């Protein structure tokens, strides 16, 4: 959180950043000295979004920064500045054009992120001074986003099923929650056959990790995250290009862990269960084979059409177990399908839900916090695409049509009728560097879902 600091009275130790745009630039210039105006003209600054100018006093001391912004994009307005401005403390000037200073500060903090586990940071980010209230509001969101990015960015050798479980145990210690896990063949004894089937070929044992927190009198909330720590595709082996970034296939688990942390830190009045099936989909002599039939925890028989459709397999046992607890709401996150990315691109998580009120509220929450979601339909006639000639249904099918929808329809079979359920098919990754969105792991839908839960349980 070093990128955001609490603003001190008088701002004597921080430099003002004045945000401006083409429509307000003339008024901005009139507030400056003649020397500063000449400098802006000579340097060619025209208040274009993403540009900035450093202004000094008569003695050459930096006293002000002009930042060109898009006033309609508060989150991205300052995101490039922490690693571009001189190392110092700054504050937003009251004369700026941005109405939502909290969103601008959040963008600043997200832009300051660097993943430094394996190398030294390029530089220390500049610091933005904000009010105590803004710092209290933003600090958990920045921390949770950083946690998702760190977990996803960490290579599988250092972020296997055991390490993912360790992250949940540390979360449990922080918030005095109860954590337990089923490891290896314990999964079979406890009736989690699909989690075991996906993960049994790895040298690192599969597991299901459960965290419980909250008062028994509060409504039950189940949060589930897909924790495939690496996905080779199994015997239906991925190509080298398709396998290259599969360390990120536990991005759903990273989101679920971070959301659980936000829920507990905010002390939302819920009885929370976090479930993370953590596996590595590997290739060995005992690997799950195409054509096998597995009886799931829910009692459905599933024909394995494709071993690379493994995420829905680990999730279905977790969904069935979560549903047994008769929750008021089930939420799951998963880096589930490339089809969702083809449909919506890398920035928009696909939202599926069986409840119209949940859909409307979640979409509105995402819009309000600049963390957009896009709803796709649970088009039930497409269930036929998962038909099997010898089992209740298959985990995939011969058609490439509607891949994100058929995956969601597979999961829906494990959610009881009448139980509100929300499924997020998220990319959890930035393919390239952009202000506030560095290349690598990314939280997509995290702030939206937290805002949705805050509204649902606090009103």
- For 350, counting Cβ atoms within 10 Å of its Cβ (0-12 exposed, 13-18 middle, 19+ buried), the class is buried
Are β-strands 271-281 and 227-231 bridged in parallel, bridged antiparallel, or unpaired? parallel
* Cα distance between residue 356 and residue 179, in whole Å: 33
**Cβ(314)–Cβ(307) under 8 Å?**
no
Identify whether 119 is a catalytic site residue: no
Of 37, 169, 238, 383, which one is the catalytic site residue?
238
Cα 295-301-305 angle, rounded to 5 deg: 105
**Residue of 312, 341, 413, 437 with catalytic role:** 312
Can you tell me the distance from the alpha carbon of 246 to that of 27, in angstroms, rounded to the nearest whole number?
51
226 is catalytic: no
* E strand or H helix that includes residue 451: helix 446-458
Cβ pair 397, 387 in contact under 8 A: yes
Tokens found for residue 314: 């680990």
Single out the residue of 255, 290, 277, 284 nearest to residue 194, CA to CA: 277
| 362 and 353 Cβ atoms separated by less than 8 Å | yes
> Any idea which residue has 């979409």 for tokens?
363
How far apart (Å, rounded) are the C-alpha atoms in residues 370 and 122?
Answer: 28
First to last CA, the chain: 28
- Neighbour tally for 180: CB within 10 Å: 11
Quick one: tokens of 123? 């530089």
Known catalytic residues are 238, 312
């Amino acid at each position: 959180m070093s990128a955001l600091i609490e603003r001190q009275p008088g701002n004597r130790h921080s430099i003002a950043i004045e945000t401006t745009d083409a429509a307000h630039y003339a008024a901005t210039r009139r507030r400056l000295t003649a020397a500063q105006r000449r400098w802006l003209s000579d340097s060619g600054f025209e208040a274009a979004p993403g540009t900035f100018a450093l202004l000094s006093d008569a003695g050459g001391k930096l006293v002000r920064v002009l930042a060109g912004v898009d006033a309609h994009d508060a989150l991205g307005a300052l995101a490039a500045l922490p690693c571009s401005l001189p190392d110092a403390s700054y504050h937003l000037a009251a004369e700026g054009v941005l109405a939502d200073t909290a969103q601008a500060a959040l963008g600043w903090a997200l832009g300051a992120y660097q993943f430094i586990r394996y190398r030294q940071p390029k530089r220390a980010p500049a610091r933005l001074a904000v009010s105590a209230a803004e710092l209290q509001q933003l600090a958990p969101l920045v921390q949770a986003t950083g946690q998702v990015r760190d977990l996803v960015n960490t290579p599988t050798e250092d972020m296997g099923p055991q390490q993912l479980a360790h992250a949940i145990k540390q979360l449990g210690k922080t918030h005095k929650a109860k954590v337990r896990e089923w490891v290896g063949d314990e999964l079979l004894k406890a009736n989690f056959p699909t989690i075991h089937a996906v993960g049994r070929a790895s040298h690192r044992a599969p597991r299901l990790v459960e965290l419980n927190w909250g008062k028994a009198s509060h409504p039950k909330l189940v949060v589930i995250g897909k924790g495939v720590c690496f996905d080779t595709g199994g015997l239906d082996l991925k190509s080298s290009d398709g396998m290259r970034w599969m360390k990120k296939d536990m991005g759903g688990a990273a989101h679920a862990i971070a959301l659980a942390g936000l829920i507990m830190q905010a002390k939302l009045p819920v009885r929370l269960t976090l479930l993370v099936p953590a596996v590595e989909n590997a290739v060995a002599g005992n690997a799950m084979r195409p054509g096998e039939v597995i009886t799931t925890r829910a009692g459905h028989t599933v024909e394995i059409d494709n071993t690379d459709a493994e995420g829905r397999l680990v999730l279905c046992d977790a969904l069935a177990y979560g549903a047994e607890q008769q929750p008021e709401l089930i939420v799951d996150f998963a880096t589930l399908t490339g089809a969702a990315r083809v449909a919506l691109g890398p920035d928009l998580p696909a939202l599926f839900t069986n409840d119209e009120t949940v859909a409307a509220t979640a979409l509105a929450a995402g819009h309000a916090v600049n963390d957009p979601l896009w709803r796709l339909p649970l088009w039930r006639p497409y269930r036929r695409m998962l038909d099997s000639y010898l089992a209740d249904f298959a985990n995939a099918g011969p058609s490439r049509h509607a891949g994100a929808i058929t995956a969601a329809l597979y999961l829906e079979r494990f959610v009881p009728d009448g139980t509100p359920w929300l499924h997020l098919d998220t990319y959890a990754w930035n393919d390239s560097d952009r202000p506030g969105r560095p290349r690598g792991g990314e939280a997509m839908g995290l702030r939206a879902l937290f805002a949705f839960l805050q509204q649902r349980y606090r009103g």
